[in-house]
Amino acid sequence: MSEQKVRVRVTRNVMHLPTVALRGLVVFPNNVVHFEVGRQKSIAAIDAAMHANSSIFLIAQKEMDTEEPSVKDLYAYGVIAEIKQVLRVSEDLVKVLVEGKSRAKLLELDASGKFLQAEVRPMPVRGISAEKRTQTEALIRSIKECFEEYLSFSPQISKDVVFNIVSSDNPLFLSEYMPANLLFKYEDKQTILNEGTLLGRLEKLLVLLRQECDVLAIEKELDDKVNVQMDKNQRDYYLREQMHIISEELGDSDDTRVEADDYAQKIKALQLDPASEEKLLKECDRLSKMAGNQAEISVIRSYLDTVLALPWHTVTEDDLDQAHARRVLDRDHYGLEKVKERILEILAVRKLNTDVKGQIICLVGPPGVGKTSIARSVAECMGRKFARMSLGGVHDEAEIRGHRRTYIGAMPGRIISAVNSAKSANPVILLDEIDKLSGDYRGDPSSALLEVLDPEQNLTFKDNYLDTPFDLSQVLFITTANDASHIPGPLYDRMDVIELPSYTRVEKYNIAKRHLLPKQLKNNGLEGLVTVSSQAIYEIIDGYTREAGVRTLERTITSVLRKCAQKIAAGETGKIAVSTAMVKEFLGPEKVKPTFISRKDAVGIANGLAWTSVGGEMLPVEVSVIPGGSGKVQLTGSLGDVMKESAQLAVTYARVHAETYGIDPEKFKNTDIHIHAPEGAVPKDGPSAGVTLTTALISALSGQPVHHDLAMTGEITLHGNVLPIGGLKEKSMAAFREGISTVLIPKDNTPDLYEVDEEVKKAVRFIPVSDLAQVLKHALVTPARSASHAARAVPRATQLIATEESAAKEPAPVM
């Protein structure tokens, strides 16, 4: 016992008692409470009280973590209690059983000694006046009703406590017993203890009970939801465990964690940029946390397998040797000298500047001229891998960019798939038929290709399926098209266009002799058994094929070889030498009919030239004058609007210049004019037939014939000027095929003659004209020149038929 004097006597209603500051506990009068004491001052206060009359003052402190409380750290009101039992567990721990006696107010606190000693004044609760008994009774009923609701949320309250509350109607008892035994926060209990009036206590107790009921209702609702979810998760867990055990018993167990670790090691080995690596490692982490039978595992596996299969850093070394490239191109292709030169120039630039990127080659030409095979040859020249993707008919943007992984059956786009199949980050990728793209409600694939082909964007091309940037800047893109006008403008602007012309007759012969025939002899097992003469090849070219390329020629040669194989397999002969007569025997009558063009000087017939997507074609125009008419002009031949307007211009020019060509102006009033362009079922349009229409019309009205070995092309104006046209190279090839000796071209197209094949320029004379007067001067057969021209027409035609370069016969153009 310390020397500190214990004063428990009452002086003027003030008591001096040992004090224990309680943490998180509030004691009420008339209630028995047990608690543990661990602070030395509190243990000393218990000892002091036991040595006196067992009275002790119990008061709650405001903050539970305060070790040395002062007056400001304690509440104003506490309870004078009597110690019933003390159990010393150890030197630092004492268990105490106390009974609250009366409510008291803290006046002063002496904390200087070994224990706290307080000066307190008992403060009993003020009773209830007679006029407020009804209000008190109503409060007690409300408190009991609220308590019943409280019990529905807190069934763990002991039966004794419930009985004592339900069976009592004493307001003082309830105001002390209920907060002492219900699970309220100590701050709320202290609020009730601080209240000095019984009515105020009951009101505070009712409010507190209602708040607790609301909180407990919310907690129960949340608990119910959590329990439902936990039950479902628990059920799923048990089912997965059972499936896992069944899989192990069947030998189908798949340790996803080991698999995920294996994926993670492979991803780290790729040495990708930090953002991409982090994204892929997150997918590995998701995989490791999944059970082996979850459906999403296959989606993650497919995604990671696709990413790991890409050649992120696998590149091939370029072979840019000019001699090697020339040998490869000459071996695979006959002719096409200008195309080969352009490709060699591109390789030379790459050799001098290895950092050059973003060069996109576009090969434009008719079908069957070797665009795809040239792309393969470029890949072989450079020693790069080759991949081809056809864009014909593609109308879904997802075909280029890929589908997002949220879709069922998602897969990468065609670009990433092509890179993956090439197994190289710098392959040659052929985008075939780029002029056949089309857009619909699923997006515009041509717009998606802008990112692929633009060197400023494809450095970080992001496929929707990968969702990770992939570098396409090292890829050499080669595109092909039949008609450059159908390529979207923004795409065309990014391309280096190389035009491939139609093949001449001699070129077709050499291609067949050097490439097609040996290839098909091997494919049909006829090497050393069948030979085909040069005359037979020319017969196939002239009589059975009519095209800009050589696809039909190859099919026809194959048809002949199949007939030979049938004879050899039947044992009819051992070896066969195919002649011209045998070609007709195997293939039947010639399928290519002569083109309807003027083969002799005739009135009202002029030979025009037209451009089509498969090459140039002859376009004859016929005009007939019908006497006894009313000046009506009739147009037939499936003509388009532009061509009809050209016919109107021709009629106007003829009327204005009628006297110049000996035409009676009255003829336009009393005759009808019929203009026709064979073949009638083939649509035709464009302004370049203007000079042909005018020449045929002037010839028909004036009665002057038109030279049959002369063709022409050009757009006309109202005053007779001849404007330039497009496709001169293809049109000149058509004139060459048909044995035309002279071609009239617009003067402004003279620079385009540089692109015309040398073989064509040797056989055909090109005459530039600037107006219709010059056209008619060269085209119409004047009486003075008619006889001399007819005399030299036969030798010229004979010469053309005698040479190997004589005309192949072609069908009417599809305009």
Q: Which of 12-16, 92-96, 362-366, 624-628 has the lowest mean pLDDT?
A: 12-16
pLDDT of residue 744: 94
**pLDDT average, residue stretch 743-760:** 89
In angstroms, the CA 434 to CA 393 distance is: 9
Q: Is the pLDDT of residue 765 over 90?
A: yes
In angstroms, the CA 721 to CA 741 distance is: 24
Catalytic residue among 42, 276, 424, 688: 688
pLDDT of residue 2: 41
In angstroms, the CA 764 to CA 72 distance is: 118
Q: Which of 80-84, 114-118, 121-125, 356-360 has the lowest mean pLDDT?
A: 356-360
Torsion of CA 559, 564, 567, 570, to 10 degrees: -80
pLDDT-based confidence at residue 95 (cuts at 50, 70, 90): very high
pLDDT digits (tens, 9 = 90+) for 568-583: 888 888 888 889 888 8
Count, in order, helices (H) and strands (E) of the chain.
Answer: 28, 25
pLDDT of residue 723: 92
Tokens representing 199? 């009515």
The residue type found at 99 is E
In angstroms, the CA 201 to CA 189 distance is: 10
Torsion of CA 765, 770, 772, 777, to 10 degrees: -40
Q: Is the pLDDT of residue 89 over 60?
A: yes
Residues 6+ apart with CB under 8 A from 140: 169, 171, 174, 202
pLDDT digits (tens, 9 = 90+) for 457-491: 888 888 888 888 888 888 888 999 988 888 888 88
pLDDT of residue 391: 84
pLDDT-based confidence at residue 4 (cuts at 50, 70, 90): low
pTM listed for this prediction: 0.58
pLDDT-based confidence at residue 648 (cuts at 50, 70, 90): very high
The separation between the first and the last C-alpha atoms of the chain, rounded to the nearest angstrom, is 123
- Higher-confidence residue of 230 and 431: namely 431
Residue 189 catalytic? no
**pLDDT average, residue stretch 627-644:** 87
**pLDDT average, residue stretch 701-715:** 92
**pLDDT average, residue stretch 606-611:** 88
pLDDT of residue 613: 61
Could you count the other beta carbons within 10 Å of the beta carbon of residue 375? 25
Mean pLDDT (the chain, rounded): 83
In DSSP notation, 580-617 reads HHHHHHHH-S---PPP----S-BTTEEEEEEEETTEEE
In angstroms, the CA 235 to CA 232 distance is: 5
Give CA angle at 495 (494, 498), nearest 5°: 165
Burial class (CB in 10 A: 0-12, 13-18, 19+), 547: buried
pLDDT of residue 439: 66
Give CA angle at 603 (597, 606), nearest 5°: 40
Q: Is the pLDDT of residue 745 over 90?
A: yes
pLDDT-based confidence at residue 805 (cuts at 50, 70, 90): very low
pLDDT of residue 355: 73
CB 815 within 8 A of CB 512: no
Nearest to 181 by CA among 70, 400, 28: 28
Q: Which CATH number fits domain 505-587: 3.40.50.1980, 3.40.50.410, 1.10.8.60, 3.40.50.300?
A: 1.10.8.60
Helix (H) or strand (E) holding 369: none
Residue 731 catalytic? yes
* SS3 assignment for 508-519: HHHHHHHHHHHH
3-state secondary structure of 365: coil
Nearest to 691 by CA among 708, 675, 713: 713
CATH classification code of 144-216: 1.20.58.1480
Tokens representing 179? 């907060």
CB 637 within 8 A of CB 678: yes
Query: Percent of the chain beyond pLDDT 90?
Result: 16
CA–chain centroid gap for 414, Å, is 10
pLDDT-based confidence at residue 1 (cuts at 50, 70, 90): very low
CB 414 within 8 A of CB 461: no
Nearest to 753 by CA among 506, 769, 609, 745: 745
pLDDT digits (tens, 9 = 90+) for 237-273: 777 677 667 666 655 545 677 778 888 888 888 888 8
Catalytic residue among 613, 646, 731, 741: 731
pLDDT-based confidence at residue 639 (cuts at 50, 70, 90): confident
CB 712 within 8 A of CB 691: yes
DSSP 547: -
At residue 95, what are phi and psi to the nearest 5 degrees? -100, 135
pLDDT digits (tens, 9 = 90+) for 176-208: 888 888 888 888 888 888 888 888 888 888 888
pLDDT of residue 594: 67
CB 629 within 8 A of CB 670: yes
CB 677 within 8 A of CB 621: yes
CB 728 within 8 A of CB 750: no
Q: Is the pLDDT of residue 793 over 70?
A: no
Q: The tokens 């997965």 sit on which residue?
A: 240
User: Which residues does residue 86 pair with via DSSP β-bridges, in sequence order?
Assistant: 96
pLDDT of residue 794: 35
In angstroms, the CA 89 to CA 527 distance is: 111
* SS3 assignment for 268-314: HHHCCCHHHHHHHHHHHHHHHCCCCCCCHHHHHHHHHHHHHHCCCCC
Cis peptide before 341 (omega within 30 of 0): no
In angstroms, the CA 488 to CA 23 distance is: 82
DSSP 780: B
**Topology of domain 322-499, per CATH?**
Rossmann fold (3.40.50)
In DSSP notation, 21-66 reads EESS----TT-EEEEEE-SHHHHHHHHHHHHTTSEEEEEEBSSTT-
- Higher-confidence residue of 293 and 152: namely 152
- Higher-confidence residue of 250 and 537: namely 537
The architecture (CATH level 2) of 605-802 comes to 2-Layer Sandwich (3.30)
Q: Is the pLDDT of residue 430 over 70?
A: yes
DSSP 475: -
Q: Is the pLDDT of residue 233 over 60?
A: yes
For residue 542, give Cα distances in angstroms to 43, 406, 549, 591.
124, 58, 14, 9
Q: Which of 39-43, 105-109, 331-335 has the lowest mean pLDDT?
A: 331-335
Query: Percent of the chain beyond pLDDT 70?
Result: 91
Q: Is the pLDDT of residue 785 over 50?
A: no
Residues 6+ apart with CB under 8 A from 246: none
pLDDT of residue 803: 31
Please, what's the b/e burial string for 76-95 (b: 16 or more CB within 10 A of its CB; e: otherwise)?
A: ebbbbbebeebeeeeeeebe
Nearest to 74 by CA among 115, 122, 19, 28: 19
CB 491 within 8 A of CB 400: no
Residues 6+ apart with CB under 8 A from 800: 739, 741, 763, 806, 807
Residues 6+ apart with CB under 8 A from 635: 644, 647, 675, 676
Sign of the dihedral defined by the CA atoms of residues 127, 130, 131, 135, in that order: positive
The residue type found at 560 is V
For residue 576, give Cα distances in angstroms to 59, 529, 564.
124, 6, 7
Nearest to 184 by CA among 76, 66, 25, 23: 25
Residue 74: how many CA atoms within 13 Å on its side-chain side?
27
CB 309 within 8 A of CB 420: yes
pLDDT of residue 409: 78
Q: Which CATH number fits domain 10-122: 3.40.50.150, 2.30.130.40, 2.40.50.140, 3.50.50.60?
A: 2.30.130.40
In angstroms, the CA 22 to CA 42 distance is: 9
